[in-house]
C-alpha cells in the first residue's frame, strides 16, 4: 500500500521530515479502541500505543491521537509499534463530549469533506442540521448534506428546498441506499486519496450507504426499530475505511448529542445569511434581541428570514457563551490548584533543606 493511497500529501511530508527519527515511519490511524490505535503504513498494519511523553505533555484530549491522524511510529516487531509523535492536522472535526464535562472530543482528523446524513423519516430535523453545519464549518472541512431513504417519500424536492434554506451554498443530495438512487452523486467526494467522514444520528443509514458505495458489506448494519422509527447503534467506534474506488471514508457511531465546541467561526459560517442582514443593524454589537433598528429583526418581520432560524442562532450562541464561561472557570480553578501544589512542593523542599 502506498502512502498516497492513505491520503498522504506534501503537508504531512514536510512535517515528517522535520520530526523524522531513526527507524521511524509515517502511518495513519484507522481505528482507536481503549488507547490502542490501529495504524496503517506502507509496510503493514500495526497495533500501537502512544509514548508516555505524549500522554504527559497532553494538555487535553486534542493533544492525543484521533482516527484520521497521521503519526510517526517506531515498529517494535510482531505487528506492534509505538506512536512517537502526531503530525499537525489539516482539519479536525470535534464536539463537546457528551454529558456535563467541558472537554473537546475529536471525532475525526484530516478530512476534506464531511457528509452529514439524515433520513427522510422521523430523524429529519432542520435545527439539528444547523448544528452539524456549524460543527463542520469550524473543522475546516467542507460539508455536504445527504438526505437518505428518499424511497420513503414522494416529494423529495420539498425536503431539499427546506434544507437549502438553512444551508446556503452547501450541496444537498437525496439518496437511497436501498434503491441505489443518487449514489453516483457521492462518488465526487470520494476520489482517490480524498478523505470524507459520514456523521449523523443512529439509524440514518451511514453504514448502509458506505456498503452500497463499496459494493460489498464492509460494515455491519441493522434495521431501525419499527415502533418509533429510531435507529439502532451498529457502528460502535470510529473507523477509517479504504474504498475500492480509491476514496477514504471514516464511519462514526450515531451521535445522540451534538454540542458545539469553540465554534464561533463555524456558527458565523453556518448562519452567514443572518450575518448579511446584521451588517445593516444600527449597533455593531447588536445581538438581535430587541435592540432598536435591528436589521435582522426587521428581516424576520418582513418574511425574509425565518423566526425559527433566528431562534436557533440565539440558542447555539447562548450554548457557546455558557461553554466559554465554564471552560474559563475550569481553567482558573486548574491554575489555582497548580499554584497551590507548587507552593506546597516549595515548602516541602525548604523543610527538607533545614
The domains of the chain are located at 3-86, 92-251, 271-354
Looking up cell 498522504, which residue turns up?
Answer: 8
Report pLDDT for 233.
43
Report pLDDT for 343.
54
Instruction: Check: CB of residue 61 under 8 Å from CB of residue 104.
Output: yes
How far is it, in rounded angstroms, from Cα 291 to Cα 163? 29
The reported pTM is: 0.84
Instruction: Check: CB of residue 111 under 8 Å from CB of residue 196.
Output: yes
| Closest to 199 measured CA to CA, from 242, 255, 149, 148 | 255
Query: Mind listing the pLDDT tens digit of every residue in the chain (354 residues)?
Result: 899 999 999 999 999 999 878 999 999 999 998 889 999 999 899 999 999 999 999 988 899 999 999 999 999 988 999 999 999 999 999 988 776 677 888 999 999 999 999 999 888 999 999 999 999 999 999 999 999 999 999 899 999 999 999 998 899 999 998 888 999 999 889 999 999 999 998 889 888 899 888 887 777 665 544 444 444 445 557 889 999 888 999 988 777 667 888 778 999 899 988 888 998 999 988 989 889 999 999 999 999 999 999 999 999 999 888 888 877 645 445 445 555 555 555 455 556 655
DSSP at 139: H
Instruction: Check: CB of residue 278 under 8 Å from CB of residue 224.
Output: no
Residue 320 has a CB neighbour count (10 Å cut-off) of: 19
What CATH number should be reported for the domain whose range is 3-86?
2.40.50.140
Q: For residue 182, what are the contacts with CB-CB under 8 A and spacing of at least 6? A: 150, 173, 174, 175, 176
Q: Has domain 271-354 been given CATH number 1.10.40.50?
A: yes
What sign results for the dihedral spanned by CA atoms 214, 216, 222, 228? positive
Report pLDDT for 46.
97
CATH superfamily of 92-251: P-loop containing nucleotide triphosphate hydrolases (3.40.50.300)
Amino acid at each position: 500500500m502506498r502512502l498516497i493511497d492513505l491520503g498522504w500529501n506534501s503537508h504531512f511530508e514536510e512535517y515528517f521530515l522535520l520530526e523524522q527519527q531513526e527507524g521511524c515511519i509515517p502511518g495513519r490511524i484507522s481505528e482507536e479502541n481503549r488507547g490502542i490505535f490501529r495504524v496503517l503504513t506502507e509496510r503493514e498494519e500495526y497495533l500501537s500505543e502512544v509514548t508516555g511523553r505524549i500522554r504527559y505533555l497532553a494538555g487535553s484530549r486534542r493533544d492525543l491521537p484521533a482516527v484520521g491522524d497521521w503519526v510517526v511510529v517506531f515498529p517494535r516487531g510482531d505487528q506492534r509499534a509505538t506512536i512517537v509523535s502526531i503530525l499537525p492536522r489539516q482539519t479536525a472535526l470535534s464536539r463537546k463530549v457528551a454529558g456535563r464535562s467541558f472537554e473537546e472530543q475529536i471525532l475525526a482528523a484530516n478530512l476534506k469533506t464531511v457528509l452529514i446524513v439524515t433520513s427522510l423519516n422521523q430523524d429529519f430535523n432542520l435545527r439539528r442540521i444547523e448544528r452539524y453545519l456549524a460543527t463542520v464549518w469550524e473543522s475546516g472541512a467542507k460539508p455536504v448534506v445527504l438526505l437518505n431513504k428518499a424511497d420513503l417519500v414522494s416529494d423529495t424536492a420539498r425536503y431539499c428546498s427546506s434544507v437549502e434554506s438553512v444551508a446556503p451554498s452547501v450541496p444537498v443530495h437525496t439518496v437511497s441506499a436501498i434503491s441505489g438512487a443518487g449514489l453516483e452523486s457521492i462518488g465526487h467526494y470520494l476520489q482517490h486519496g480524498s478523505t470524507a467522514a459520514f456523521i449523523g444520528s443512529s439509524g440514518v443509514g451511514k453504514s448502509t450507504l458506505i456498503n452500497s458505495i463499496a459494493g460489498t458489506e464492509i460494515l455491519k448494519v441493522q434495521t431501525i426499530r419499527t415502533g418509533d422509527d429510531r435507529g439502532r447503534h451498529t457502528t460502535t467506534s470510529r473507523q477509517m475505511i479504504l474504498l475500492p474506488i480509491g476514496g477514504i471514508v471514516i464511519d462514526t457511531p450515531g451521535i445522540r448529542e451534538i454540542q458545539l465546541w469553540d465554534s464561533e467561526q463555524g456558527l458565523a459560517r453556518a448562519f452567514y445569511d443572518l450575518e448579511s442582514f446584521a451588517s445593516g443593524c444600527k449597533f455593531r454589537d447588536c445581538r438581535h434581541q430587541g435592540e432598536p433598528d435591528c436589521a435582522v429583526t426587521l428581516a424576520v418581520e418582513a418574511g425574509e428570514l425565518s423566526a425559527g432560524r433566528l431562534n436557533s442562532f440565539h440558542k447555539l450562541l447562548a450554548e457557546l457563551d455558557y461553554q466559554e464561561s465554564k471552560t474559563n472557570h475550569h481553567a482558573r480553578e486548574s491554575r489555582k490548584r497548580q499554584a497551590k501544589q507548587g507552593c506546597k512542593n516549595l515548602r516541602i523542599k525548604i523543610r527538607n533543606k533545614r
